[in-house]
Each structure stands twice: as C-alpha cells, then as structure tokens.
Structure 1
Amino acid sequence: MSAYPPDRHDFSRSAPVRLWEDGFAADPHRYYAALRAQGPIGWAELAPGVPAYVVTERRAALEVLRDTERFSHDPRAWEETVPADSPVLGMMRWRPNALFADGGAHVRYRTTLLDVFDLLEPHDLRARVHRAVRLLADRIGPRGEADLVADFSRPLVALVFNDLFGMPVSAGDRLDASLGRMMEGGAGAAEGEAEYARYVLELIAAKAERRGDDLPSRLLDHPAGLTPEEVTWQVFLTLGAGYEPTANLVSNTLSRILGNPVYYSTLTSGARPVMDAVVEVLHHETPLTNYGIYYAREPVACHGVWLRDAVPVVVSFGALTSFAEQEDTGGRHPGDASHLSWGAGPHACPVKQHTLLIVTEAIEQLTQWLPDLDPVLPRERLGWRPGPFHRSLTALPVRFTPRSPDHPGVES
C-alpha cells in the first residue's frame, strides 16, 4: 500500500469516534461534533474494530457522492478485512444489486427499478396508504392511547410494502422484526439478516411460480432479463432500503410535529402542509444517518486526508443535518434541495417521490382521523434505537379522544 504523504492526515493511529456506542443514539450531536472537530473527514468505528472515514462537510460529501472514478460502492475488498461475524456485515456486505454495483451493472439494475416503480401510479399508491391508515386507526382508535412507532409508523409501512411486493398482511411483523435487528447492527444483526433473506427468497420463489400484480413480478418480467437471483437481490435492496427509512421518517416527523403545539395546530387546521415538517426532519433529523458508504478505488488524498482503500468512506447525512440544526435559521429552512438526505450523483435515491407520498399521506390521514393527538412524554425524553446507520425512535406514546371504527373519519 502507498505510504502516506507527509502533508496528509493519517487517522490510522488516532482514537476513532465510536458510532456503535449506546451514547450515540442518545446524543448524536456530541459524536458528530467530535468528528467535525477533526476536519471535513473524521475517523470513526461503525462497530468494534470496524473503522471508517466519516465525511461531515457538504462540499467533501458531494465530491465523494459524485466522483465515480475515485470512489466505488463495491465493498468486497473491505469484506476481506473484517470478521465473518461482524454485526455490520448485514448492512454492508456485497450483493449483486443496484446499491453495490458500479458502471454498466449499476445502470442495468437501476434502470429496471426505475421502470417498475414508474408503473406505480400515485393515485394507486395513495389508495394503498389510505387503506393501511384506516386499518391501523380502526385498531387504535377505541383505545384512546397508542405508541405511534409500534402501533402506526412501522406497521403502516409494513402493510404498504407487503401490498406492493405481493406479501400478505400477516407477514408484516416478520418483516419488521428481521429488518429492525439487521439495521441496529448489534448482537441480533446476523439473525435478522438471515431471517430477512429467507423472507425475500420465499417471496421470489412464490412469484417465480405464479406472477401477481406486484413489483417482484414486474421485475421478473422486465425486458432487461434479470435472473431470479438478480431479482431476489433487487428486492432485498428495495424492500429493506425502503421500509426502515420510510417508517423512521413517518415517526420522526410525527414526533417533531407533536413536540411543537403551534406547529400541530397549524397542521390540523390545514394552514401548514405536512411536507414542511417532512423537509424539516430531512434537514435536521434524517432517518438514514450514516449509510452513504463508498470505498476509495486506491489510496487517495481528499480534503486533507489520505484515504486508504478497503476502508469505508461514509457520507454522514446525519452529521450534515446535525450541523444544520445548530445554525440559527429563524425557523426557516433553505429548501428541500439544500440537504443531502436523498444522496446525490448516480446512486441518489430513485424513489424519492414515492417515499414522500407515503409519508405525507400517512400523517395527513392520521391527524385528520385523530386530530387531538397528545404526546405522553416531552420530546427530549423520547428514546432512540441503537445502531450507527439510522435515527429511529424506540416509541412515541400518545393519548387522544377515543374514536370507534365507524366514526366518520378519513376517506379510503
């Protein structure tokens, strides 16, 4: 490996900022501040003994996201350096899908995904969300209390995604549990990854035998001619990458709205759109915090740091938005395009509009049906799930006036 130039910083002998600690979930701002103190690119651990460079400055982030000549999404060289039982492998190991591909393979996989999602009409997706909201609202309405994470955000997205991917409603808990363990990157990560893989394999086997009106069937029949194995890994990616961030975006947005009574009153009266709150969360508390993962194709200098190959280079959307939250914007944000929560460059999120539709429709429908949601805990006392990759609430308990299922409410 090339020697480090004397004018470039080498972190290899520095103490890393440990993003796997419980304290990171409780107070990510402190960890991001420590990373920013090192410069535009800091030195961290994603798991014990798994170091990574973390990009915390916007200009450096855009350079990594857009520079396909110097940076790759392929992690296979890195995989050879980590133990087989590493808890982050489930999220980071190579698979033949759009996320981990470069060049022509990436274009082929991404194009098929764009094509099948383009066939999903907004009015159809909206109707699926409305049905899911009504089902969940009918369950919790008579109780007068609920956890908007366990009783709404996560099951809602499971219902919508299982509907889109051709799985029964009853499979929602299985999807939620397996992806949750894999995302947290802890002791149960390998078990979660294995269970999620079984879930997807069973789904593709069923669709290979009998097609349906769903996304996997459309992928199997796409003119690009993806093999069943390739379709399996595209579904593994899109179902997983869609479910967790979308569920977290719903709950993070609800917590932000309910934590601000003035905001909530303008929302329920229709004076302020839900999208304002969603964009605010994407600016300040993005749900997928540290999952822009790249690798230098060879040792390279970048913003004063000598980056080694086979070491993850993580664009930290969480650090970028955390810095934005410390700025005094007078309650205003500069617009959706100014944050990088959707990524940038060739690997930018291909289903941004679908995600936004699910999130905004879900929150609008819930707050119309239950207009007096009252948080049980102040926002600063809410708990957050562990893990280096996400910003995800453990619970969001609320009270409200009980409503029976047949009470006039949202239209489905």
Structure 2
Amino acid sequence: MTHPSPAEQAFSLAAPVRLWEDGFARDPHPYYAALRAQGPVGWAELAPGVPAYVVTDRRAALDLLHDTETFSHDPRPWEATVPDDSPVLGMMRWRPNTLFADGAAHIRYRTALLDAFDLVEPHDLRAGVHRAVHLLVGRFGPRGEADLVGEFTRPLMALVFNSLFGLPESASDRLDAALGKLIEGGAQAAQGEAEYAGYVLELIAAKSERRGNDLPSWLLDHPAGLTPEEVTWQVFLTLGAGHEPTANLVSNALSRILGNPAYYSTLTSGARPVTDAVLEVLHHETPLANYGIHYARTPVTFHGAWIRAAVPVVISYGALAQAAEQERGGDRHPGDASHLSWSAGPHACPVKQHTLLIATEAIERLTQWLPDLEPVLPRERLTWRPGPFHRSLTALPVRFSPRSPDQPGGRP
C-alpha cells in the first residue's frame, strides 16, 4: 500500500466544496471552478457531513471508469459510516442491481437488461412518445400557456416509461412525485425512496402473477434466471434512471432552444436536426451532473490525490463539460461525442439510443404541434431544483398560440 505525501495529506484537510447548497443549484459554475482549482480530483460534500472526492478532469475520469481492480461500485463499506437518515442514501445505498455490482454479478445483471431492452422496437417506442405528447398537448394546448417541466417533460416520461414497464397511464403522477423527492436528496428523500420502492414492488408482484409484453416480464423470463427480488432491483434502477435524467435532458434542451430564437427557428424549419440540441445539453448542461460513484478498495494515490477507502469518488460530468467548453472556446462540431454523459467503461449507459430517441421525438413532436413556443422568462431567471446530483429546472413557463391536437389543420 502506498502512503500519502504531505501535499496529498493537506488536500484531504482542505475545506470541502458544498454541493448541497442552494447556490449550487442556482449556478454550479463557481463550485466547479473551486473543485477544478484543487486539481484533477477535488474535495466536496454531497450533504452536510458527507464528504466525497470529485473528479473534474477527463483523463482522470476515464482512468476511474476503466479501473475495476482499484475501484468498486459497491457502497456498503461507505454506508456503514453514514447516518441512516442521510438525504443522499436514496441515490447511493447498495441494492443488488447492475449499478452497484462488480465482476460476474454486474455482467449477469447487465446482460439481462441489454437483452430485455433489445426487445423494445424503436417504432413502438416512437409511437409511445407520440401518443404521450398528443395526450399532454391536448391538456394544455387550448390554454395558450404551460409549464413545460410540470406539464410536459416530467409527466411525459412517466407516461412513456410506465408503458415500457407495463403500468397504466393512471399511475404516472405517483411515479413522477416519488422520483422527484428521491433524486433531490433533501428532507423528503427517504419518503420518496420508500414511495418509489413500494411502486416497483407492486409492479413486480403483478408481473410475477401475470406476464405482459413489457420489460419486467422479459426480465423475469430471461435465461439468466433472475429472482423476482433481483428483477425488482433492476427495475428500481432502470425505471428511475430512465425517467428522471431523460425528463431533465428534454427540459434543459427546450430551455436552451427557446432561449435562442434564431436557433429555435432552424429547428422548427427543419434546417437543423433536434439531435443537435440534445447533444448540446449532453455537452454543456448534462442532466445527471455528478454521479458515476466509485469507492477505492484500499487507500490509493490517484491523479495526485490521496483517496481513502470507503469514501465516494464522484465523477462531475458537469465540471468536465465546463472545462471542455473553456478549452474549446465553445467551438464544437454538432456531431462531437466527446462528452461523458453516457459514462464509459463497463458501466457505460446500456440504453443511450433509447434515451436519444425519446428525447428527440418528444422535442420534435412538441415543436411541430406548437411551433411558436415563447419563453415567459429569460433563461437567467429560471430556477433549478436543489440537489448535488442533477441539473434540473423547477419550471419552464411558455406561451404560444392556443391549439388542440384534434383541431382541423392541426400539426403534425
């Protein structure tokens, strides 16, 4: 085992950058700058009294993501060091699923998920997004105004993912509310975790009794032989990881599009694909800003920092994006895929194509129905939900010409 140098010891005693503050939600850039000033690995707090190392350098992030010998995804040694009521436990506690597994267990769970999602036909997924957009625009379109977060992106994802997982539309509000509490990591995090867990347990119990043409049923019948409990935790992961970040991806993209009228006109005219707008968000305002959590198996020196065992090592995709933007001066080809929003290595996002399809179809369909969307507030006056992990708008108020999807001459 190596031992820390005096410089590395001093780093571990530095004042942590507090990612749980309200100021971080309002403007994360000064916080990322403070972390980057410490070197490739910074020292932060995810919640009061919950320290973490934060990787802000691309090379260091890639090394971390590919080094399965030095680092583990299993948080149980860390869990033993934090209070049971810690607000970040809902996003970080161990569960028997692919995110928190290493080695053979990870491969088994991941293979089952990949095989199940391969059964999702892109045409059916696209049609599901279109139906959800039609339903939601039918609710708010005649008013000529809406909150695109509360009335579009979040309920849209609940509708789409409930369909994929074999749940009725009537359950969408319950899913949305539970996940919102869980990911913010605040006072209601434990309640949100419990509500979401109950939601998933009821789903798997129903599918164990009667299969359907849906992801839980395919997982239950997969040759890997996952138990109902294991399927429960794969669904807990994928339903949550699909809903929340994808909703934020769409709302962040819409806010950037609508804040730039010239850019918006190129999208509505078809001169520029919506995919470009989605990629812009993945580069500059990624919806899951700080995650990819690892734990050193033993104390180790990593890119100049002394990493203790059982302390989270978080990848700041948001800080990586900020650094890349400054280095390039904002000059980037639209097809550039150099961001790490999908992660990398063995735990890279297994369903990024599904996510891209949902996001681009949602934005395209909405802007086809309502081509004159106009933001009510300038982008700098929008507010953001608190929490160390995500970049998520609280609301995106817009106005437009009143329209019903069923009116004569309606679009698309």
Q: Give me the TM-score of the superposition, normalised by structure 1.
A: 0.97
Match of 2:365 in 1: 365
Aligned partners of 1:368 and 1:409 also within 8 Å: no
User: Which runs of no fewer than 5 residues in structure 1 stay unpaired?
Assistant: none
Match of 1:38 in 2: 38
Match of 1:155 in 2: 155
Q: CA deviation at 1:26?
A: 0.3
Match of 1:251 in 2: 251
Cα distance in structure 2, aligned partners of 1:71 and 1:225: 28
Match of 1:404 in 2: 404
Runs of 4+ more than 4 Å apart: none
* Aligned-pair Cα RMSD in Å: 1.3
SS of structure 2 residue aligned to 1:310: coil
Give percent identity, aligned residues only.
80
User: Which runs of no fewer than 5 residues in structure 2 stay unpaired?
Assistant: none
Q: CA deviation at 1:329?
A: 3.8
Question: Residue type of the partner of 1:365?
Answer: R
The worse-fitting range, judged by mean Cα deviation, of 197-206 and 329-338 is: 329-338
Question: Residues 67-123 of structure 1, C-alpha deviation per residue, up to 9 Å, x if partnerless?
Answer: 101111000000000001000000000000000000000000000000000011111
Q: CA deviation at 1:233?
A: 0.2
Q: Give me the TM-score of the superposition, normalised by structure 2.
A: 0.97
Question: Residue type of the partner of 2:270?
Answer: G
Aligned partners of 1:10 and 1:305 also within 8 Å: no
SS of structure 2 residue aligned to 1:198: helix
Q: CA deviation at 1:356?
A: 0.1
Q: Does 1:355 align with 2:355?
A: yes
SS of structure 1 residue aligned to 2:44: strand
Match of 1:142 in 2: 142
Match of 1:234 in 2: 234
Question: Residue type of the partner of 1:119?
Answer: L
Match of 2:343 in 1: 343
Q: CA deviation at 1:291?
A: 1.1
Match of 1:183 in 2: 183
Q: CA deviation at 1:334?
A: 6.6
Q: 1:9-408 residue pairs with structure 2 within 5 A?
A: 9-327=9-327, 329=329, 331-333=331-333, 335-407=335-407, 408=409
Change beyond 3 A, Cα 1:94–1:85 = same
SS of structure 1 residue aligned to 2:130: helix
Cα distance in structure 2, aligned partners of 1:380 and 1:7: 39
Cα distance in structure 1, aligned partners of 2:183 and 2:322: 21
SS of structure 2 residue aligned to 1:292: strand
Question: Residue type of the partner of 1:244?
Answer: E
Aligned partners of 2:61 and 2:315 also within 8 Å: yes
Cα distance in structure 2, aligned partners of 1:327 and 1:392: 25
Aligned partners of 2:71 and 2:294 also within 8 Å: yes
Change beyond 3 A, Cα 1:336–1:410 = farther
Aligned partners of 2:321 and 2:339 also within 8 Å: yes
Question: Residues 344-389 of structure 1, C-alpha deviation per residue, up to 9 Å, x if partnerless?
Answer: 0000000000000000000000000100000000011100000000
Q: CA deviation at 1:333?
A: 3.9
SS of structure 2 residue aligned to 1:391: coil
Question: Residue type of the partner of 2:146?
Answer: A
Aligned partners of 1:280 and 1:333 also within 8 Å: no
Q: CA deviation at 1:14?
A: 1.6
Number of residue pairs matched by the alignment: 411
SS of structure 2 residue aligned to 1:337: coil
Q: CA deviation at 1:331?
A: 5.0
Question: Residues 8-39 of structure 1, C-alpha deviation per residue, up to 9 Å, x if partnerless?
Answer: 35533221000000000001001000000000
Cα distance in structure 1, aligned partners of 2:330 and 2:133: 34
Cα distance in structure 2, aligned partners of 1:335 and 1:309: 39
